[in-house]
């Protein structure tokens, strides 16, 4: 399994919209679900900071994820550009293989 972890700091007042888009049933997951190699998303919020979130996306393999990005590049970039208005900070924390 290939795992991608992202960290976000959401703009104050944008948490509800952010949560609806990034949740396991949100716009990102709906796009990812178009590919059979997508295995799911965990979506977590910091208990001490309501503007701090992580997403953990799971794919069957690195190759499958990269293939998805190649075929959905335009759709991915459009959603990413829309979501920029919701966050103060966004950073990948890493890409992992399960062992």
pLDDT confidence bin for 88, thresholds 50/70/90: very high
Return the pLDDT at 47. 97
Q: So what CATH class is 2-97?
A: alpha beta
**Mean pLDDT of the 55-80 span:** 97
Q: At what angle do helices 62-71 and 73-83 cross, to 10 degrees?
A: 80
pTM > 0.85: yes or no: yes
pLDDT tens digits for range 22-53: 999 999 999 999 999 999 999 999 999 999 99
pLDDT confidence bin for 19, thresholds 50/70/90: very high
Is the sign of the CA dihedral 9, 11, 12, 17 positive or negative?
negative
């Amino acid at each position: 399994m290939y795992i991608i972890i992202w960290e976000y700091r959401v703009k104050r007042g944008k948490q509800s919209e952010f949560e609806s888009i990034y949740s396991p049933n949100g716009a990102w997951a709906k796009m990812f679900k178009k590919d059979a190699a997508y295995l799911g998303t965990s979506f977590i919020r910091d208990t001490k900071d309501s503007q701090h979130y992580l997403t953990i996306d799971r794919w069957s393999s690195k190759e499958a994820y990269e293939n998805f990005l190649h075929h959905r590049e335009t759709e991915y970039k459009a959603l990413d550009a829309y979501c920029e208005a919701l966050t103060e900070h966004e950073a990948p924390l890493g890409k992992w293989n399960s062992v």
